[in-house]
Structure 1
Amino acid sequence: MTVSREVELEGHIIDSGMMQTCFGIIMDLGGSFTVETFDIGRHKTDESYARLLVEADDEATLQSIVHELHQNGANPADPKDVTLEPAPADQVVPHGFYSTTNHPTFVRYDDEWLAVQNVEMDCAVVVDTDEPRAYTKVLNAVEAGDQIVTGETGIRIAPPERPRGQQGAFGFMQGGVSSERPSESTIRQIAEAIEETRADGGKILAVCGPALIHSGAREDLAQLVREGYIDMLSAGNGFAVHDIERDLYGTSLGLDTESLDHARKGHKHHIYTISEIIREGGIEAAVESGTIDSGVMYECVTNDRPFVLAGSIRDDGPLPDTITDAVEAQNAIREQAHEADMVLMLSTLLHSVAVGNCLPSTTRVVCVDINPATVTQLLDRGSAQAVGMVTDIGTFVPLLAEQLVDEA
């Protein structure tokens, strides 16, 4: 005897590949389906609708199929109110709690659909029944008594859609990674997307790795910060150290980024740099005293662009501005990520993945790295909205600055 459930798909389900994906999920997991209703949009902007009867041999198989369908935007045809259970203790969630995707999410409470605030992947959903409102919490922030969403009843997910004929600067941002794309035309489109974000009052976050300094792109990135094309910066201790080392000693990790020669005693420059900034009391104090007078961190301080430096176990020093508590650093990154409307991830695997984990799928992301594994790992972790460029960061940033600043 088979068991069955009806699910619905709505939106640009053909162009986005949602319908094909759902068909594949059902068959791959051992189920079958019948298309009961299929209304196709007849124009480019029209949405489509399909209702499927999903069948399986047993309830466990059906549940696994419905779970996967739900993660890809198929929702139950007969929605019920969400199931809530109180958190039994601080940082403890009920068994079977709903773990979020990074897609826009809605929960049904008291016959009303509530948009979940601050959506990001791998979180719990808390419902404040007094207001009412729904929002995400990371596990370490859960408090005893929080009303946690459990199961998958009363939950809707809306993955980003790709309507046919999408125009505008963001039309090229359809996800994926390639080293075959024409660099100049793609960089021009990224520049247009940045301009469009600024024109709409959006904020742009740059996630930067030390290779950006080593490759000689420091001055161009500093110019983008100075001219207002970058609103926020997220990086590690190493990025800031090498940026400031370039200002104080003309080197990055002891290497002259102009001549590519190893400076005499250059291997000591990064630790000397850390010592000087500690003596000053921090980056802002060093800028105010005149010790630092150029570079990315200088421009951030001078132009009031907030930055987060998240530490790691391998950091030298670290700088006084570096957040060494991992949970505190995550929270600071999360706060930045929730403010960003577009993110440039520039040659850093760990920070790109960390920031990507905090982003909703509606935030536009460009990831640039010479190593294709950086870009593919970001997509594999769930940031499917990211556009990847496999290219030298030392070439990309100057070309981007030329498009934005020189042609402004």
Structure 2
Amino acid sequence: MTYSRTVELEGHIIDSGTMQQCFAAIMELGGTFEVEQFDVGTRKDETSYCRMVVTAEEEPTLQSIIHELHQNGAMLTNPRDATLEAAPADQVVPPGFYSTTNHPTAVRYNGEWLEVERVEMDCAIVVDPGGEEGTAEPRAYTKVLNAIEEDDLVVVGETGIRVRPPERPRDASGPFGFMQGGVSAERPSESTIREVAEEIEATHESGGNVLVVVGPAVIHAGAGEDLARLVRAGFVDALSAGNGFATHDIERNLYGTSLGVDVDTLEHPRKGHKHHIYTISEVIRHGGIAEAVEAGVITDGVMYECVENDVPYVLAGSIRDDGPLPDTITDAVEAQDAIREQAHEADLVLMLSTLLHSVAVGNCLPSTTKTVCVDINPATVTQLLDRGSSQAIGMVTDIGTFVPTLAEFLIEETP
């Protein structure tokens, strides 16, 4: 006995490689397929359509294939409403709940498609039916598992779910068309940085939100002053970092060192290895970064500019942190929620030399958010993409060159 289902694909499914991925998934998982209809878009503004019957010898095999196709944007024909089950307790989801991707998603409820709000990967989808007397419209939104409440109506299985992965345009136009090649250290760095600057400027002029995710290497490499200039000039709307970045940025202002090394001369001053802990103790003494700025202790740097220009920042802590600074969020769940709020507000994210924070923020981003990850270590860039942030563009280059060049393009050339 065989089992089969009919699925449909529509969009730029050839240019984006979607069809190839779907065909490969079917064969690798032990199924077969028969294409019933295939309409090819012959112009740049035309999409393609494919309808095919997928067959497998066993029903679990077919379900595995349908799951994989679903992640690539395939839709079952004659869709039914999504299956909803009430959460049995706080932080407990029903078995077989639908785990989200970071792609735009909709669920079918009462015959209508509801766009899922606050899309991010590895969440549950909760449906709110609306007011008892019909005064509120039904809605669907994501929830992380620790936020699930008893009796939440959670989507179970994959029936009535529509996923739309991002599509690659047929030319270099469109969002990030200039960087369609993924990760590379071979591109002309200056021209690529100019393109990034133009995207940031366009986001800024349209009233969008630019989030910068940054690691201590920015300070170690001597790029802190230029990042501070970008904050001061209004090109950074939010900052996400850790205790280490803020500590070394403030250490640079107080002592001229970063992790005990003079950023300008690369010399190791006497007792320089203690500068970071002295810095932390000084900020603790004043009650926090903003208080130290107000007291005139901190007079320069990225954190100083954030305080002076009302740029919100999240400092997420880790088990390795010295101190930490009073502003550091040491509760992991609280830190995740703070990062999540930043990520959902962002229209463009610039990740600078930080693996852990880049992955953390990347996990919270929908695939529609433009993302640029810059690091001298290719593993940092590729790991972000491997974790599911398919929209991220990787640049393997020296952060000490990237940030000053970016600041030059944005500040010197802005009218």
1:163 Cα deviation from its structure 2 partner: 2.2
**Post-superposition offset of 1:169:** 6.4
Amino acid at match of 1:337: A
Partner of 1:181: 187
**Which of 323, 331, 334 is the equivalent residue of 1:325?**
331
Q: Per-residue displacement from partner, 1:16-72 (whole Å, max 9, x unpaired)?
A: 111111111111111111111111112101111111111111111100000000011
**Which consecutive aligned stretches of 4+ in structure 1 deviate over 6 angstroms post-superposition?**
none
Tell me the CA shift for residue 175 of structure 1.
5.7
Contact 1:178 1:390 in 2 (8 A): yes
Paired with 1:90 and 1:50, the residues of 2 have a C-alpha distance of 42
- Provide the residue aligned with 1:92 in structure 2: 92
For the residues of structure 1 that align with 2:223 and 2:384, how far apart are their CA atoms?
23
Q: CA deviation at 1:168?
A: 5.1
Match of 2:399 in 1: 393
Q: Supply the distance in 2 between the matched residues of 1:228 and 1:76 (Cα, whole angstroms).
A: 46
Q: 1:87, 1:145 within 8 Å by CA — same for their partners in 2?
A: yes
- Answer yes or no: is the 8 Å Cα contact 1:215–1:394 preserved in 2: yes
Q: Mark the CA change 1:115 to 1:26 in structure 2 (over 3 Å): closer, same or farther.
A: same
Stretch of structure 1 that moved more, 165-174 or 254-263: 165-174
State the partner residue of 2:112: 112
Cα distance in structure 1, aligned partners of 2:82 and 2:216? 45
Tell me the distance in 2 between the aligned counterparts of 1:230 and 1:269.
Answer: 28
Q: Which is further off, 327-336 or 185-194?
A: 185-194
For 1:68, the equivalent position in structure 2 comes to 68
Conserved in 2, the CA contact under 8 Å of 1:169 and 1:192? no
Residues 1:344 and 2:353 aligned together: no
- CA pair 159-399 structure 1, distance change in 2 beyond 3 A: same
Q: Give secondary structure in 2 for the equivalent of 1:148.
A: strand
Quick one: which of 282, 285, 288 aligns to 2:288?
282
The aligned residue for residue 14 of structure 2 is 14
Measure the CA separation in 1 of the matches of 2:175 and 2:348.
Answer: 12
Deviation string for 1:211-246 (max 9, x for gaps)? 000000000000001101111000000000000000
Aligned to 1:42: 42
**Distance between the aligned counterparts of 1:21 and 1:169, measured in 2?**
23
Q: CA deviation at 1:249?
A: 0.6
**1:197 is aligned to 2:203:** yes
Q: CA deviation at 1:180?
A: 1.1
Q: Is the 8 A contact 2:169 2:177 kept in 1?
A: no
The offset of 1:200, in angstroms, is: 2.1
Describe the shift of the 1:168–1:82 C-alpha distance in structure 2 as closer, same or farther (beyond 3 A). closer
Identity %: 75
Q: What's the CA shift for 1:199?
A: 2.2
Q: Distance in 2 between matches of 1:366 and 1:119?
A: 19
Matches of 1:23 and 1:170 in 2, distance apart?
A: 27
What's the counterpart of residue 247 of structure 2?
241
Offset of residue 77 of structure 1 = 1.1
Residue equivalent to 1:254: 260
Distance in 1 between residues matched to 2:57 and 2:198, nearest whole Å: 52
- Give the SS at the match of 2:155: strand
**How does the TM-score come out when normalised to structure 1?**
0.99
157, 160, 168: which one aligns with 1:154? 160
What's the CA shift for 1:125? Answer: 0.2
C-alpha offsets along residues 341-397 of structure 1, whole Å, 9 cap, x if unaligned?
000000000000000000000001100111111001000000011110111111110
Matches of 1:48 and 1:370 in 2, distance apart? 39
2:313 is equivalent to residue 313 of structure 1: no
SS where residue 358 of structure 1 aligns?
coil
Q: Secondary structure at the match of 2:80?
A: coil
Q: How does 1:117-128 map to 2 (within 5 A)?
A: 117-128=117-128
Q: Distance in 2 between matches of 1:403 and 1:383?
A: 27
Determine the C-alpha separation between the residues in 1 that align with 2:259 and 2:41. Answer: 58
Tell me, in whole angstroms, the C-alpha distance in 1 between the residues paired with 2:362 and 2:181: 14
C-alpha RMSD over aligned residues: 0.9
Amino acid paired to 1:163? P
Following superposition, the deviation at residue 282 of structure 1 comes to: 0.3
Q: 2:308 corresponds to which residue?
A: 302
For the residue of structure 1 that corresponds to 2:93, the secondary structure is coil
Aligned AA for 1:400? L
TM-score by length of 2: 0.97
Tell me, in whole angstroms, the C-alpha distance in 1 between the residues paired with 2:138 and 2:278: 54
SS at match of 1:384: coil
Instruction: Name stretches of at least 5 consecutive residues in structure 1 with no aligned partner.
Output: none
**Which segments of 5 or more consecutive residues in structure 2 lack a partner in the other structure?**
131-136
Tell me, yes or no, if structure 1 residue 206 matches structure 2 residue 217: no
The whole-number CA distance in structure 1 between the counterparts of 2:232 and 2:169 is 36
Equivalence for 2:133: none
Give secondary structure in 1 for the equivalent of 2:192: helix
Residue 81 to residue 198, structure 1, CA distance change in 2 (3 Å): same
- Output the CA distance in 1 between the equivalents of 2:287 and 2:372: 34
Deviation digits for residues 79-134 of structure 1, max 9, x if unmatched?
Answer: 00000000000000000000000000000000000000000000000000123000
Q: CA deviation at 1:270?
A: 0.4
- Picking from 271, 282, 302, the partner of 2:277 is 271
Greater shift in the superposed pair: 54-63 or 107-116 = 54-63
